[in-house]
Every structure is written in C-alpha cells, then in structure tokens.
A and B are shown apart, each in its own frame.
Chain A
C-alpha cells in the first residue's frame, strides 16, 4: 500500500512545477497549461483523501475542479484568440495595455 504522504508529495511536486511554469513562462498558452497542472495537483490530493477517508466526497469535489478547469480553459483560450487577433502576440509581458 502506498502511504498517503506519497500522494501528498506527488501533488506538492506537481503544484510547485505548475507554479514555476506560471511565473516563468512568457507564452500565455503555456501559462494556462501550467494552471491546469496546478489544478491537477489539487485533484490528486482530493482523490487521495477520498481514498483515505473512504468517502466519495473528495471525488465529487474533483469533478467540480475539472468543471472549473474546463470553464477556465474555454474562456482563457477565447481571450487568447481574441487577443491574438488584435495584437498578434502570445507573450504575457507584452500584454501591457493596462500598465500605465
């Protein structure tokens, strides 16, 4: 049996990788993908606790997280397309129209 802490550590590792991705990448699409990684790390945790406690609630919560991820991806990618069409860049640090 895998100790519960290993799930936690795996989730932690994915989370940190995701955070670093969000903070260091310039391409917005990859930033969005890193956010997906973070959400995924959360899901692993939820799932591990669901197993640990023998309760299905964690899995249900994970479903909501996935729903959220889907919504985020749809809107986020919609914004990216709209932005790319207007400014023709995908770089987060060039999206500085509000930075005055």
Chain B
C-alpha cells in the first residue's frame, strides 16, 4: 500500500510539473487554462496522499469548480481571435530565467540551511493518524483557533466580490 501511494505521488508530481510547463508555454489561453486545471487536479491528488482530504475537496470545488470556471468564462468573453494572432511572449526571457534561477537558488539555499541545521525537514513524519479525522480537525482549527483570520478572510472575499462587481459592471 505504501509503495502504491509513493508511486502515486511521483505520478501526480510529474503530471503537475508537466502541466505547469504547458500552462506557461501554450499559445492558446484556453489550452493554458486546461493545463492549469490538470495541474490543480494533480495537486489535489497530492493533498489526498498527504492525508488532507478536506483540502482535496476544497481544491476541487473551489479551485477547479470555481476559480478556473471564472477564468474560462473570462477567456471566452474577451475576444480570443485577436489575441491569438499576437506575439505571446515578451522578450524578457533572459531576465526572467535569471530571476527565476535566483529565486530558486535562494529557496534551495534556505532548504539546505534547514536541512543542515537539523530543522524540521530531518524529523520523522508524524503518525498518519495525527491528521484524522481531517474534516473535524480542520473545522476545529478554523473556527476555534483561527476565528479572527477566518473572519478577516470572509471580509476579504466580500471586498473582492464587491470589487469584481464594480469592475465588471458596464453601467453602475
């Protein structure tokens, strides 16, 4: 069983990275969105493998079923045919790769530091049961320990909702 889930991780990881690369390289925005959906689904699979069932459901319902639908909607609303004929990439690829490399190196360095100094990364993983029952634990954390951030997040969403309506409305 353990071997199975490990294999699944590498499968999902490869899928996620590959689709991520296609998101960035696809010419057509709709294709990009589809690859992003695949990447998000693969990530959801990894959540499942990490004992985060609730987050798996949230990822699929919110990200795949909500946010990405919004993206596709907008792509279809704006006129694609014109956009398709234009050059899709700017000429910053050199700068971009340098910045990406720098950021990557920085993160790798941080990673190496943590590892070297015997931080969390060298810990043995906690028992699988520690995150079960997942939904209840998340709910307790969310509504007991993190009530204030939760409320702030709701206000953020409210603000975003009003903002989006104001932005998209033709005549207010």
A and B touch in the complex (CB under 8 A): yes
User: Which A positions have Cβ atoms within 8 angstroms of B?
Assistant: 1-2, 4-8, 10, 12-21, 23-27, 29-30, 32-34, 36-37, 40, 43-44, 47-57, 59-60, 62-64, 66-75, 77-82, 84-85, 88, 90-93
Question: Roughly how many angstroms separate A17 CA and B33 CA in the complex, as a whole number?
Answer: 15
Contact of B55 among A53, A62, A88, A92 (CB under 8 A): A62
A77 to B: closest C-beta gap in Å: 5
Query: Contact between B89 and A24 (Cβ–Cβ < 8 Å)?
Result: yes
Residues of B contacting A80 in the complex (Cβ-Cβ under 8 angstroms): 74, 78
Cβ of B153 under 8 Å from chain A: yes
Residues of B contacting A81 in the complex (Cβ-Cβ under 8 angstroms): 74, 77-78, 167-168
B76 to A: closest C-beta gap in Å: 11
Residues of B contacting A60 in the complex (Cβ-Cβ under 8 angstroms): 138, 141-142, 145-146
A35 to B: closest C-beta gap in Å: 11
Given contacts A5-B111, A10-B13, 4 further A-B contacts (CB under 8 A): A43-B59, A50-B131, A75-B163, A78-B167
B53 to A: closest C-beta gap in Å: 10
- By beta carbon, the residue of chain A nearest B163 is A75
> B49-82 toward A: CB 8 Å interface, digit per residue (1/0)?
1111011001100110011001100110111001
Tell me the interface secondary structure of chain B in the complex.
Answer: helix
User: Which B positions have Cβ atoms within 8 angstroms of A?
Assistant: 2, 6, 9-10, 13, 16-17, 20-21, 23-24, 29, 32-33, 36, 39-40, 43, 46-47, 49-52, 54-55, 58-59, 62-63, 66-67, 70-71, 74-75, 77-79, 82-83, 86-90, 92-93, 95-97, 99-100, 103-104, 107-108, 111, 115, 120-121, 123, 125-127, 130-131, 134, 137-138, 141-142, 145-146, 149, 153, 156-157, 159-161, 163-168, 170
Question: Roughly how many angstroms separate A85 CA and B50 CA in the complex, as a whole number?
Answer: 43
- By beta carbon, the residue of chain A nearest B14 is A10
B101 to A: closest C-beta gap in Å: 8
- By beta carbon, the residue of chain B nearest A34 is B24
Whether A54 contacts B55 in the complex (CB less than 8 A), given A5-B121, A23-B95, A32-B71, comes out as no
Q: List 9 A-B contacts (CB under 8 A).
A: A2-B6, A6-B9, A29-B32, A33-B32, A33-B71, A36-B36, A37-B24, A40-B63, A70-B66
